[in-house]
Amino acid sequence: EIVLTQSPGTLSLSPGERATLSCRASQSISSGYLAWYQQKPGQAPRLLIYGASSRATGIPDRFSGSGSGTDFTLTISSLEPDDFAVYYCQQYGSSPGTFGQGTKVEIK
């Protein structure tokens, strides 16, 4: 089973600032099958990024993903008020499809 470790646990930033979230895997993720999700309180997760760097349909271009192998990054270039939420990474290339423990992006 691939273990994903996200850092930091909480990121305190102001609107307009840049957010950089990290996801590190215990072993290499095949074919870059790494996804990022956003979850707001009381809502289901929403797919943001798949294939490590491809934006899902309707996702603004301020969200970008990068990385390969075992190290991946989600960057939000300029935080909007709607972006304050919890973000999860997931590897979806091998069973079980494990998630990271999440990074909370909160308003400073």
Partner 1 sequence: QVQLQESGPGLVKPSQTLSLICTVSGGSISSGSYYWSWIRQPAGKGLEWIGRIYTSGSTNYNPSLKSRVTISVDTSKNQFSLKLSSVTAADTAVYYCASGYYFRGDHWGQGILVTVSS
Question: Which residues contribute to the site for partner 1 (CB under 8 A)?
Answer: 1, 33, 35, 37, 43-47, 50, 56, 88, 90-102
Q: Residue 22 or 77: which CB sits closer to partner 1? A: 22
CB of 88 to partner 1, least distance (A): 6
3-state SS record for the chain? CCCEEEECCEEEECCCCCEEEEEEECCCCHHHCEEEEEECCCCCCEEEEECCCEECCCCCCCEEEEEECCEEEEEECCCCHHHCCEEEEEECCCCCCCECCCEEEEEC
Q: Residue 50 or 72: which CB sits closer to partner 1? A: 50
Q: Residue 72 or 88: which CB sits closer to partner 1? A: 88
